[in-house]
Amino acid sequence: MLDVKNAVASSGTYRLGDRRVHRMGYGAMQLAGPHVFGPPKDRDAAHAVLREAVALGIDHIDTSDYYGPHVTNEIIREALHPYPTSLTIVTKLGARRDEGGAWLPAMSADELRSAAKSNCENLGIERIEVANLRLMFGAGDAGPTPGDVQPLLEPLITLKEEGLIGALGISNALPEQVRQARSMTDIACVQNMYNLANRGDDALIDELAEAGIAYVPFFPLGGFNPLQSEALDQEARALGATPMQVALAWLLQRSPNILLIPGTSSVAHLRENVAAASLVLTADTIERLDAVGA
């Protein structure tokens, strides 16, 4: 049985902007309704997940006002406000939802300023500790796509200078976009899709680690093919853990600058995810897992 009580502490800490957080965090996206749209079926259960996360020692929650929209931020405020001084809430700016729930770009200066204020209002805060610019140059919710970061980041730098934002990050970004952003301002974190089977950011993670910049992967099980899933399942069975726990443990051991934000709307699933931080993988296990993404 993996240790849940001390798992968050055992994950270690890393710098995130002006803050230092445990490497095992929580992503609030799944607290909204189906397809991250509308309210959840059980709002009290969503509150319980957040309160349990904090009770387990999680001090890094990832959210956005376009989850719902507005729903997850409102739920976070209802469950946790006034916030513990140790809690760092990170949000994303750069997208919006239409009436049907489609994901649309919202990256103009006015839209970014409005989104920053909306996040503050719905979270019940005066300043966003860390705001990620969520790039959406492609159609819908496409992956990283080439595009000029400068005109998008400049308005956020202004908001930082005004004190509405504490630190800036970038999400869904190509390595060259990350470098462009870093040439303009201090970047606290990069949030991209990365996991055992999708290793395109390997070099970027190492580059950021050398610079002391956090990397926050999303979709820890996204994009696995059947053979890769079976290989992960086999390792999980041998370890007496779930595939998700093994995938999260591998990410924690991949690089010290990786911060995890697995999401769930279930207290039991939250505890299962958190317990992954106490799973120690041997060198032989890591070698076999590394081969999954080869």
Residue 66 designated active-site: no
Helix axes 175-184, 202-211, angle to 10 degrees: 20
Our separate counts of H helices and E strands in the chain read 11, 11
Angle, vertex CA 30, rays to CA 51 and CA 164, nearest 5:
75
- Report helix, strand and coil shares of the chain as percent, to nearest 5: 45, 20, 35
Maximum Cα–Cα distance across the chain: 53
Reported as half-sphere exposure (CB side, CA atoms, 13 A), residue 146 has a value of 0
Angle, vertex CA 260, rays to CA 186 and CA 214, nearest 5:
20
DSSP 94-112: SEEE-TT--EEE--SHHHH
Query: In this structure, how many other beta carbons lie within 10 angstroms of the beta carbon of residue 98?
Result: 9
Q: Which of 14, 26, 67, 194 is catalytic?
A: 67
Omega prior to 220 cis, within 30 of 0:
no
**Which residues are known to be catalytic?**
67
